[in-house]
Copies of this chain bind each other. A is one copy, B any other.
Amino acid sequence: MSTPAAKRQKSSKDVPYHLIYWAGLPGRGEHVRLALEEAGASYTDTAHIEDGTNQVLALIDDKYTGDDTNPPPLAPPILKHGDLVINQTPNILLYLGPKLGLAPKLGDDDEDGLYHVNELALTALDGLSNEPHDCHHPIASGLYYEDQKEESLRKSKDYVANRLPKFIGYFERVLKSKTSGDGPWLYGGKLTYADLVLFQCFDGLKFMFPKAVKKLEDSGDYKGVFALHEAVKERPNIKAYLASDRRQNYGMGIYRNYEELNVTE
């Protein structure tokens, strides 16, 4: 299969990764940042450069139809690597993971492992990132939270009572599987990007629903997930990153700390 465009030169990728995402909040771009930071990869980030926001806007403009080798992306995060421009958080991680040593490679003895890491990342993003977002925007992402407060409270109550324990319980179970291997990691006895995704989601949930997360902690039933969160936080590169000003504060993004939504049931 080939595109009508000229073949890309492999050498175009001997350049730093470039993350294109909104400034001012961790958001879904944070999953990409954590992978790059853990691996000590060379990268630039529109969150920290002048005119960064305009780079985002240019690529998601509804008149933009892509370039010679890339279709237009719908939304950030977007990764540019040489001539390649891709979006969708789990897709960017799939691209980066094997290159950064954060997932098995196709062609390796454990090549099927890439599909396991991908499925774990997708599941964490579904239940621990998209659903929390919808807790404060259950009716419409284009409306203000203030226009859907009542529905948000109703959804948040269901989320902490049913969905949060379901998803955290699932990852606890994955941590007990044979394929989890040694150590605190989800797959193969080694840190993968699925661990980084779970870390970031759980970190955001601690900010958004502190009471519900405390209740999970007190139950003693989810020790593996809490241990994974701590283990990622202590990775030297992650620790340095979290202490740096490259790590942005939670704000009006996916994970929001509305006191009225900080419920336990």
Contacts and interface: CB of A to CB of B under 8 A. Distances in A.
Interface stretch (A1-9, A14-22, A30-38, A205-213): A1-9
A72 B112 CA distance: 14
Given A106-B106, A143-B158, A187-B71, A65 B95 contact: no
Given A139-B158, A142-B162, A91 B71 contact: no
A124 to B, nearest CB: 10
A188 B66 CA distance: 13
A1 B114 CA distance: 10
B154 A88 contact: no
B110 A2 contact: yes
Give the interface residue-count category, chain A. Answer: 35 or more
A204 B89 CA distance: 25
A186 interface: yes
Given A138-B155, A162-B142, A116 B70 contact: yes
A115 B94 contact: yes
A64 B177 CA distance: 9
Contact of A72 (B118, B162, B174): B174
10 contacts: A2-B110, A4-B178, A5-B178, A64-B173, A65-B174, A65-B177, A74-B167, A94-B115, A139-B158, A151-B151
